[in-house]
Structure 1
Amino acid sequence: MAAIIVAGLLSVSSAQAEMTGSHSNDPTAVLDRNLVELFGTEKKALKQVGSQRLKQLIRPQLRRNTPKVQYDANWVDARPAAKGGDEWQCLSEALYFEARGESVKGQFAVAEVILNRVASPLYPNTVCGVIHQGTGKRYQCQFTYTCDGRAEVINEKRIYERLGKIAKLMLDGAPRKLTNGATHYHTLSVSPRWARTFPRTATIGVHHFYRQPGARTVSN
């Protein structure tokens, strides 16, 4: 299964260039970026006096509405059928084409990487934006399945349904604790050059996970 993230980012300027293929949706981080656009200097004052309180108000609500995750196929399969909008569909498809052969824990970990990228200022601030970054430039995209020239067809419906449930759980605020803020991964069978300089944060299933230096992420 294609599974190397093609972004051999050795600096912020090259951070969009090299991820070969097998980054996250923290609502607080998205809200924070929106505040920059809406309120300008007022947002700075808000951060000084109330940003931590804002996070406390939002995150417990997410956790109350999200069950305690079990990284078990039977548990995920027993969840209600999932559906959603564009962000859910983008994440479900990315998990299918990047990680359908992984363990459930590994699939959650790949979802973490994507959501961690959403939360980082170095990447687009939507799931679809992260996944399709660089698409259209052959082998210069962030996730290979979006630019390898092959038609992407979902044939394994049962696996796709499971991955849709994982996507739903993650978008609803499930904890991102497996990869310690990872923004990159690759399969164990390869050694991309960026892996020599990025700190490795976890190894799960057939993937090593890494965090790009300077890529601040917010894990819940």
Structure 2
Amino acid sequence: MFKPMRWAAALIAAITLSAPAIADVSISTSNNPAITLNQRLGSLFGAETNILTSFSVRDLSRLTRAPMAVQDTASDELTKQKLAAMPVAKGGDQWSCLAEALYFEARGETLKGIVGVSEVILNRVDDSRYPSSVCAVVNQGTGERYRCQFTYTCDGRPEIISETKAYQKVGKIARFMIDGASRELTEGATHYHTKSVNPRWARVFPRTTTIGFHHFYREPSRVARN
């Protein structure tokens, strides 16, 4: 709940910033003792009263409306309800590679988090600096332990999918994204890492957003890659 004084202060600050042209009263910085503090405050609040009366009921309602709770919605296109209603997804190699990557990289994340990882993979596919297919992006660098792009492909452990429901969930998301969903969550990110690590490139690449346990970054076009 808003405290009355805090609400009033926030409202006055918002109005002052949003309507500088309305107020034509300036408070002198003179040290003249004849200009009392009460006179100054009276002039100030008189101006704010004029500003308040110039706002419509709708404007005031918008300024004081409490923010809505953020829901676990990947975008305006995909919600938990829509995901649940989708049939079990199927597809070819590209879908299979994306679903597998989402399973091993992000199955414990929220819907937004899983979509965010899928955006990174698909953004790389569209970037000329990376391979031009999902499978090639996911498996880039695989062959030398811990030198790959996605750790699960080169950590020396077999990729065994044992959580059927989780795989079905990421499979639906993979299908949805490959079929042309917009990518709005990560603002063109090409990299991500968990909060528990701090890779060297994260000091150079601009961070675009944070979702769940992952920070997302966009590789600058002028940064050379090894």
Global fold match (TM > 0.5):
yes
Aligned to 1:150: 157
- Give the gaps of 5 or more residues in structure 2: 1-74
**Corresponding position of 2:218:** 211
| 8 Å CA contact 1:96, 1:160 repeated in 2 | yes
Q: Which aligned segments of 4 or more residues in structure 1 are displaced greater than 6 angstroms?
A: none
SS in 2 for 1:148: coil
- Give the gaps of 5 or more residues in structure 1: 1-66, 216-220
What RMSD, in angstroms, separates the aligned Cα atoms of the two structures?
1.4
Residue 70 of structure 1 aligns with which residue? 78
Query: CA 1:146–1:193 in structure 2 vs 1: closer, same or farther (change >3 Å)?
Result: same
Residue number among 107, 130, 134 corresponding to 2:114 in the alignment: 107
Change (3 A) 1:146 1:108: same
Higher RCO structure (Cα 8 Å, ≥6 apart): 1
Distance 1:193 1:133 in 2: 19
- Does structure 1 residue 184 correspond to structure 2 residue 191? yes
For 2:77 and 2:104, how far apart are their aligned partners in 1? Answer: 22
In structure 2, how many angstroms separate the alpha carbons of the residues matched to 1:139 and 1:71?
35
Larger radius of gyration: 2
TM-superposed CA distance for 1:77, in Å, is 2.0
How far apart, CA to CA, are the structure 1 residues paired with 2:98 and 2:172? 10
Task: Describe the SS at the equivalent of 2:82.
Answer: helix
Aligned length: 148
- Per the alignment, residue 171 of structure 2 pairs with 164
1:97 aligns with 2:104: yes
Shift of 1:170: 0.4
In structure 2, give the amino acid aligned to 1:85.
G
Q: How far apart are 1:191 and its partner, in Å?
A: 1.0
Alignment of 1:1-220 (within 5 A): 69-72=77-80, 74-214=81-221
Q: Which amino acid aligns with 2:179?
A: D
Report the Cα offset of residue 132 of structure 1. 0.3
Distance 1:112 1:88 in 2: 13
Instruction: Describe the superposition over 1:103-135 as per-residue Cα deviations: whole angstroms up to 9, x where unpaired.
Output: 011000000000000000000000000000011
Q: Distance between the aligned counterparts of 2:100 and 2:77, measured in 1? A: 21
Q: Deviation string for 1:67-105 (max 9, x for gaps)? A: 962242x43121111100000000000000000010011
- After TM superposition, give the deviation of residue 190 of structure 1 in Å: 1.4
How high is the TM-score relative to the length of structure 1? 0.65
Residue 154 (structure 1) shift: 0.5
The aligned amino acid for 1:96 is: Y
